[in-house]
Every structure is written in C-alpha cells, then in structure tokens.
C-alpha cells in the first residue's frame, strides 16, 4: 500500500519502454500508485513516471526489491527469465500475469503445444534441433518455411523466412551456437493479418476489443485499422471467442493480444502477447477504455472498462525514426496540416527504423484515415511522400 494513501495499491511495471510510459499515463486517472523498474533514466517511461526505480529489469535481486515494495507487478516486456519469475512468486510477490501464464508468451514452442491441445487453429509446425528437421518439414509443407526462435524475439527479430535447405542450415547452425531453441512453421497463405485483444481480470471477467487489421512490414507493425474493414461478423466473433478461450485457458491476467492470419479457411493464430500491445494503441482515443487502463484494471482486479469503439473507424500508424533526429521540429507542419490528428511520441532517441511513437486518427472512412496517418508518419520520419 502507498505511504501517502493507505487505501490505494501500488502497481509496479517491469521495464521502462513505451508500454510502461502509456500505462503510467492511463494510471494517472485511476489514481493508483504506479512505479516503474527501468534500466536507464532515459528509458521512455523513466522520463515521465513519478516513481522510477533504476535497476536490472531481468535480474532477481532488483526485481525482488521492486516486487517487495509494490502490491502487484506487471510487465512491459516478456524478457524476465522463468526461474526469476518462479523465485519472485515463491517470495510472495504477486505477478499479473503470473508465471504459469507468462511461459506461454515467453516460449513459442510451449505456446504452440498448448494452443494445439486447446484446439486453436495454428499453422503446421515442428520443433527444430537440426537442419534435417527443417528439410523434412518442408517436404510436407513446401518451401519457403518460417523459422522462429522460441524465445526472445520481437518486432521481427528471431523470425526467418527461408526458401532453401541451405538457408535453413545457416539459421539452424547459428541458433545452435547461441543455444536458441527453434521451431519451423509453414508459411501461411493469408489474405491479411488481424489482431484481437482481450482484457482478463483475476476474477475471470473478460472484455474483448473489436478485431483489427494490422499491416506489418519487415516484421514490424506499421498500421492498424479498427475495426478490420469488411470483416464478416461471424469471423470477428470467432476471433474474439478464440482470444477469450485462450485467455481463460492460459490463465492470463491483464491484456492478451492474439495476432492472427486471415485465410480462406478462417483465422490462424500467429503470435500471443500478454501485455499491452502495439495492435491496441488505437484504443487510447478509439475505445471507451484504453488497453492500458484495462490492463491496469485487470492487474488491480477492478471491474473492466468498456472496450467499445469511440468512433466508426480508428487508424493508428507507427512512427519510425528516420535520419534526422529532430522529430519535435516537424510537429509544426503535421499539426498545422491536420488538427484532428493525435501524436504520441515516446521520448526515445531517434534511430533509423526504431519505433519512436505513433499517430492516431478517428473518423468514418478507413482509406481517408490511412492516408492522413501515413502522411503524418512519413512527415514525422522526415520522409514526406
């Protein structure tokens, strides 16, 4: 409990990235005390949070001290090793989501096994420990195939599309040298990518957000359109029910994002994340309750807020760094051109290709909103179209 107000719990978020930054922003309205464990004072969340602890956000010692000073811990990333999570729980630290849930977000092999047991539609896949496994799999599934690091990947890192046995061998040997477990998946023939988010509280309440379309480039989410244009209502409900089922079955507390491939035969599960997710940044303005607020409400075991859309269509575009670091200097042009546009900047040092913010626009016409969001993102990157 807080020293200042004994009736209010303290939430600690592990990791100081932009997800923690935007969770802090949502937490201000809730009035719960919010702390962040960040690796550096220049981390995105550390720049704006009222209570910042500096330390190793993956190591037992700092996490234990942090956990003991908070009522509940939650996570900005999936990188805390499982043995550390185990020790934290043994020491009485409340983790939400807990270790039992997180291991499915941390390990794609475990996730695929469990999703299969639950009957969730998944790509064909196989664990890989030697190059021959890939070739054998590709004989069935056809080249190219997708190799994935079971742990540690994000934003396209740890994913390789390989078209030949030789290419596969290079990846498998490098992974073996680094002791990274691999799996191979069929390259799904999808028409587009979708994502669906649900919040789940310890009480078991769930709130499912509208299904969105995500546009990925180089493994990075570039754009989100909410709701997914032209999605047939049955498929939307199927996707939401799938996410709800996974949230219950995996024991998720907080936000669960399920990234999906839309195929001729329905949706197929691509990835899971148990935290606020890039595919849900649109909810800050575009839903009655943002993913960040519902993550906190779930973590605090409060009743969840309405995930209902606040406008017919919301479009989010990520803002990637360009060559010129002066993003702020370009605000004047973007804001003057489009007063209805909302800019979110994460305070991160600009590097080419790095996610440094996002923009959001609300309205009626997906194409018009996409054009506005792309225009702003291109301008802010220093690359007007």
Query: What SS3 string covers the chain?
Result: CCCCCCCCCEEEEECCCHHHHHHHHHHHHHCCEEEEEECCCCCCCCCCCCEEEECCCCCHHHHHHHHHCCCEEEECCCCCCHHHHHHHHHCCCCECCCHHHHHHHHCHHHHHHHHHHCCCCCCCEEEECCHHHHHHHHHHHCCCEEEEECCCCECCECEEEECCHHHHHHHHHHHHHCCCCEEEEECCCCCEEEEEEEEECCCCCEEECCCEEEEEECCEEEEEEECCCCCCHHHHHHHHHHHHHHHHHHCCCEEEEEEEEEECCEEEEEEEECCCCHHHCCHHHHECCCHHHHHHHHHCCCCCCCCCECCCEEEEEEEECCCCCCCHHHHHHHHHHCCCCEEEECCCCCCCCCEEEEEEEEECCHHHHHHHHHHHHHHHHCCCC
Query: Which CB atom, from 26 or from 231, has the smaller least distance to its own copies?
Result: 26
Query: Which CB atom, from 134 or from 296, has the smaller least distance to its own copies?
Result: 296
Q: Which residues are annotated as a binding site?
A: 108, 148, 185-188, 193, 270-271
Query: Which CB atom, from 342 or from 354, has the smaller least distance to its own copies?
Result: 342
Query: Which CB atom, from 173 or from 328, has the smaller least distance to its own copies?
Result: 328
Query: Which CB atom, from 233 or from 339, has the smaller least distance to its own copies?
Result: 339
Query: Least distance to its own copies from the beta carbon of 206, Å?
Result: 12
Query: Least distance to its own copies from the beta carbon of 279, Å?
Result: 19
Query: Least distance to its own copies from the beta carbon of 298, Å?
Result: 12
Query: Least distance to its own copies from the beta carbon of 24, Å?
Result: 7
Chain residues in the site for its own copies (CB under 8 A): 4-5, 7-9, 21-22, 24-25, 27-34, 42, 46-50, 52, 207, 285, 288-289, 297, 302-306, 308, 310-311, 325-329, 331-332, 335-336, 339-340, 342-347, 349, 357, 362
Q: Which residues are annotated as a binding site for ATP?
A: 108, 148, 185-188, 193, 270-271
Query: Least distance to its own copies from the beta carbon of 358, Å?
Result: 10
Query: Which CB atom, from 94 or from 268, has the smaller least distance to its own copies?
Result: 94
């Amino acid at each position: 409990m807080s020293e200042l107000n004994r009736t209010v719990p303290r939430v600690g978020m592990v990791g100081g990235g932009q997800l923690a930054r935007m969770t802090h922003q949502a937490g201000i309205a809730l009035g719960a005390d919010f702390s962040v464990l960040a690796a550096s004072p220049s981390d995105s969340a550390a720049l704006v949070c009222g209570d910042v602890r500096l330390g190793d956000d993956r190591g037992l010692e700092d996490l234990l001290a942090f956990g003991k000073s908070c009522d509940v811990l939650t996570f900005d990333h999936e990188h805390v090793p499982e043995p550390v999570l185990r020790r934290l729980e043994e020491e009485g630290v409340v983790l939400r989501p807990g270790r039992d849930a997180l291991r499915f977000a941390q390990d794609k092999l475990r996730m695929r096994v469990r999703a299969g047991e639950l009957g969730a539609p998944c790509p064909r896949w196989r664990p890989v420990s030697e190059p021959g496994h890939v070739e054998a799999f590709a004989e069935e599934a056809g080249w190219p195939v997708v190799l994935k690091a079971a742990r540690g990947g994000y934003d396209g890192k740890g994913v390789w599309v390989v078209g030949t046995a030789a290419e596969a061998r290079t990846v498998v040997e490098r992974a073996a040298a680094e002791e990274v477990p691999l799996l191979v998946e069929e390259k799904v023939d999808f028409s587009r990518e979708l994502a669906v988010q649900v919040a789940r509280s310890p009480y078991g309440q769930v709130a499912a957000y509208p299904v969105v379309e995500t546009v990925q480039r180089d493994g990075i989410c570039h754009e989100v359109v909410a709701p997914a244009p032209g999605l047939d209502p049955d498929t939307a409900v199927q996707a939401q029910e799938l996410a709800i089922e996974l949230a219950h079955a995996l024991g998720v507390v907080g936000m669960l994002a399920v990234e999906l491939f839309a195929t001729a035969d329905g949706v197929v599960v691509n990835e899971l994340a148990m935290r606020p997710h890039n595919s849900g940044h649109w909810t800050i303005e575009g839903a009655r309750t943002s993913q960040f607020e519902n993550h906190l409400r779930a973590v605090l075991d409060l009743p969840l807020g309405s995930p209902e859309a606040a406008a017919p269509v919301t479009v989010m575009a990520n803002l990637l760094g360009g060559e010129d670091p002066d993003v702020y200097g370009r605000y004047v042009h973007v804001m003057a051109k489009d007063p209805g546009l909302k800019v979110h900047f994460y305070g991160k040092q600009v590097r080419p290709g790095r996610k440094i913010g996002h923009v959001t626009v609300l309205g009626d016409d997906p194409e018009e909103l996409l054009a506005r969001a792309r225009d702003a993102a291109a301008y802010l990157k220093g690359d007007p179209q």
